[in-house]
Amino acid sequence: MNPFKEKGTPLESQVRSWKEVAQTPFLKQEVDAFTRCRVILMNGIEVEAGVFSHSFARVSHDRDLKQTLARLRLIEHQQQNTINWLNPADQSVLETTIAFEQVAIELTAYLARHEPDPYVKMAFDFGLLEDFDHLYRYSQMLDLIHGKDPNEILQGRTDVFPARPTQDHHNDPALRILKNYDKATASPITKAHALTLMAGEQQTWNYYKNVGNTYGSPEVRQLYAEISAVEEEHVSQYESLIDPTETMLEKWVMHEFNECANYYTCYMTEVDPRIKRIWEQFLSFEIEQLRIAAEHLKRLENRDPQELCGVDLPTPATFETNREYVTQVLKETATLRLVDGGEWVHVPELPNNWPSHRYQEAENKDGAPSEAVVAMRIGAAGAELVRTGDKAMAQEAGRVREMTLDGSDALNTVRGYDRLPTPIEEEVVRLGPLAMEVDDYHLPTNGANGKSTNERKVQAAADATPRPGTRPKK
C-alpha cells in the first residue's frame, strides 16, 4: 500500500467524543496475547507522536507550523487514550509488565529477522536478549507476588528463560551510543524499525518508572528500579541508530509514515474484529496526518517526502512467535558485551578496565534485585520458574544463567545450576487450586464453559500433561 496515494479522514472529522475515546476494555482472560501486544506497542507509538510533536514545537518559529502541530497533537492524544484505555482495570501491574516484555521480545526479534542493515540487526539482537532476561526475572516475581503463571499472559507464545543476566545490562551509558544509519542510503525499513523500537522502549521505560512504586515489597520496587534503568539504556541505544542530521520536518514525516506502517500492519494482522476497526480508523487518520506533514516538508524545505520513506509500507508491528530465532540468538550472543565505538565483544575479550564494571560495582553494591528474585523463587518453590517449548532446553536454565555472567558479579548472584526447573506436574501440586490458573489460563470457548473450577481441574488432570510453555490442547 502506498500511503501517499490513499485518501485519509479529513482532520476536522478526526476529533472524537469522550465516549468514542474511552472505549470498552478487552477481557484479559480472553484477549489474544498478540492483540494485547499490539495495544501496548501502538500506545507507545502514540506517546512518541505526542512527545516528538512537543519537542518540535518548542524549537519552531513558524506560527502556522506550530498551530498545525497543536491540532494534530490533540488527535494523537485521543488516539493514545483510546488504545491505552483498552487495557482492563483488573490487569495487574506485573501482568502488564509481562506483556510489555513480550512486546519487546517479539517485536525486536521480528524486526531483527527483517532488518536489511547487518549492524542495525546486531543492535536489535543485543537488546533482544536483555528484554528476554527481563521477562524471566519479572516472571519469578509474578509467581511470588500474585501466584500466577506468566503463560496466562504469554499464552505459550514466548519462552521464559534466562539470557544475558540483567545484572550485566548496566553499562557506562556512553557505550550505548551506537553508530547511526546514513539517512541518504538507509532503507525506509531500517528507519521505521529504529523509530518503532525506540518508541516501544521509551514507553516501557515510562511505564516502569510510573508503576514500579505501586507495590509495597522493597524487592519489587528495587526490581523495577533496576530494569527501568536498562530500558533507559535501550532508549539511548535505539535513538542513537537514527541519523541525527535528519531535520525536524523529515523526522515528522517519518513519524507519520511509521504510524501509517504500524497501523496498517495491525489492521492486516488483528484477530479481534472490534479492535481491528480501531486500527482501520486510525490508519485512515494517519494517512491524512502524513499528507499534512509531507505538505509542510514540501513548502518549507522543498523536499519530496517519498525520498525519505519510499512508497511501500514496512510491517514493523507484526507479532508472531519467534521462538527458534530467539533461541539461536541466545546460543550465539548471550556472552556479548558493549565496548567503546558502538561494537560488541564476548566476555573473554573484554578489556581489564571495561568502563561498565565501575557502574555495575556501584549499582550492584547491595546486591542485584534481578538475582534476589531468582533466589526468592528458588527459596519458595525449590527451583526457578522456566517455561519453554523444549524440555531439554528447560534443563539448561541454571547453566545458561551462570555461564553467561561476566565474572565480576553481584554478591547475591544465584549459584548452583544443579537445581532443575520444577516440572509442570509438581507446579500443579504446589499451587493447588491456583494451578487452574496456570494450566487453564485461557478458558475454552466451548465444552468446559459452565463447569466449576474443580471440575475443570479434574478434567485437566485427566488430560495428557501439557508441555510447559504451550497452550494446552482442549
C-alpha cell at 122: 546486531
CB burial of residue 276 (10 Å; 0-12, 13-18, 19+): middle
Q: Which chain residues interact with Fe ion by CB under 5 A? A: 49, 76, 79, 104, 131, 134, 201, 231, 234, 256, 259, 286, 289
**Residue closer to Fe ion (CB basis): 149 or 286:** 286
**Residue closer to Fe ion (CB basis): 176 or 234:** 234
Q: Sort residue 302 into left (φ over 0), alpha (ψ -120 to 50) or beta.
A: left
Least distance (Å) between residue 152 CB and Fe ion? 19
Do 449 and 443 meet the contact criterion of CB atoms below 8 Å apart?
A: yes
Do 226 and 369 meet the contact criterion of CB atoms below 8 Å apart?
A: yes
Residue that the C-alpha cell 556512553 belongs to = 174
38's enclosing H/E stretch is helix 33-58
Q: Where are the beta strands (DSSP E) in 306-388?
A: 336-339, 343-346
Least distance (Å) between residue 180 CB and Fe ion? 19
Least distance (Å) between residue 399 CB and Fe ion? 23
Least distance (Å) between residue 474 CB and Fe ion? 32
Do 441 and 155 meet the contact criterion of CB atoms below 8 Å apart?
A: yes
C-alpha cell at 277: 476497526
For 182, other C-beta atoms within 10 Å of its C-beta total 11
Tell me the C-alpha distance between 164 and 175, whole Å: 17
**Residue closer to Fe ion (CB basis): 286 or 409:** 286
**Residue closer to Fe ion (CB basis): 282 or 441:** 282
**Residue closer to Fe ion (CB basis): 97 or 190:** 97
**Residue closer to Fe ion (CB basis): 107 or 385:** 107
Least distance (Å) between residue 391 CB and Fe ion? 26
Least distance (Å) between residue 227 CB and Fe ion? 6
C-alpha cell at 130: 536483555
Least distance (Å) between residue 200 CB and Fe ion? 8
**218-239 vs 118-146: helix crossing angle, rounded to 10:** 170
Cα dihedral: 460, 463, 467, 473 (round 10): -80
Tell me the C-alpha distance between 370 and 98, whole Å: 15
Least distance (Å) between residue 233 CB and Fe ion? 8
**Residue closer to Fe ion (CB basis): 104 or 394:** 104
Least distance (Å) between residue 46 CB and Fe ion? 5
**Residue closer to Fe ion (CB basis): 49 or 438:** 49
> By Cβ distance, which residue is nearest to Fe ion?
134
Tell me the β-bridge partners of 160: 387
Tell me the C-alpha distance between 41 and 202, whole Å: 11
CB burial of residue 407 (10 Å; 0-12, 13-18, 19+): exposed
Tell me the C-alpha distance between 312 and 287, whole Å: 13
**Residue closer to Fe ion (CB basis): 169 or 323:** 169
